[in-house]
Structure 1
Amino acid sequence: MTAIYADKYCSRDLLNRFAAEISQHQVKGESKEYAFILGYQLAEDLGRAFSDRAILQTYMEAEATVSVGPLKNVLSLLRSMYALTCMEEDAAFLRYGYLSTENAAAVRKEVTKLCSEVRPHALALVSSFGIPDAFLGPIAYNWIDANSWSSVKH
């Protein structure tokens, strides 16, 4: 299942859940406005799902314009990392049963794997944003030297 399909499924399901919850509150005599307030958790989850899907869709459309090669490979890693990080950090995936606890552990493991694959490209990615070297900590360049006893000021 692709990330976009999963996101569309989640968004559609969340929208249906939200509409059903609002209807239930209205059947109990609540005003539409108050029913919306009572459904805030689903509204928040729906908004996040919609935003994440829009970002991922835009990213994939931009990625599709890049020719096959090293840049496309890095962009693919970043896309996968974004999609999986969204799943990992959004409690809605567990709350509504889109992701089991076992699958959540597998997602965490994959994010860790992707981090190690992106790591060799980290400085180039940061450089592409034009961030001056002065804003980067020494750990960005050499973790061992930055954390050695000799670098500690007495």
Structure 2
Amino acid sequence: MDFISIVAIAIALASLVIVFAYTHRMWKYISMLLDELSIAMLVRKKSRKVKRYILVKFICKDKTDLKSFVKSLENMFTKLLGELDKIDCGITVASISTDSSRAIIRVVGDYRCLKRVLITLSIQHILFEGCIVVPIKTSGLMSRLRKML
């Protein structure tokens, strides 16, 4: 073998070593990227939006108009939760019964939204005067709560 063929073989071997070294390093980066993507997909599945309904009863000191109180209740949610959380949780009053002083509140959001709304309902009478809102039952189906309305 002459000198040129030995140099060519040495260069080929060196290039193979370099390719294997970069392939190992690139594989490490690719596996880290795949791990982050799988974690992001798992997080996305956990934060899916679900509907929950809360049956509440209004207890008032004097005779107040429940329809006006419900409008002030929506403003109270905005003040206590903030505009972004109220929009993110999708809080609306789905149904009102003035005879039994009860209402159904719809919450559309992730699992934390229901907890925030229930905490807000439990402290609203301390911060705002008027009626006390007592949560009676929560459900995923509105038809179950309509029977109690």
TM-score by length of 1: 0.25
Q: Which has the higher contact order (CA 8 A, sep 6+)?
A: 2
Task: Report the structure, 1 or 2, having the larger strand content.
Answer: 2
Question: Which protein is bigger by CA-based radius of gyration?
Answer: 2
Task: Report the structure, 1 or 2, having the larger helix content.
Answer: 1
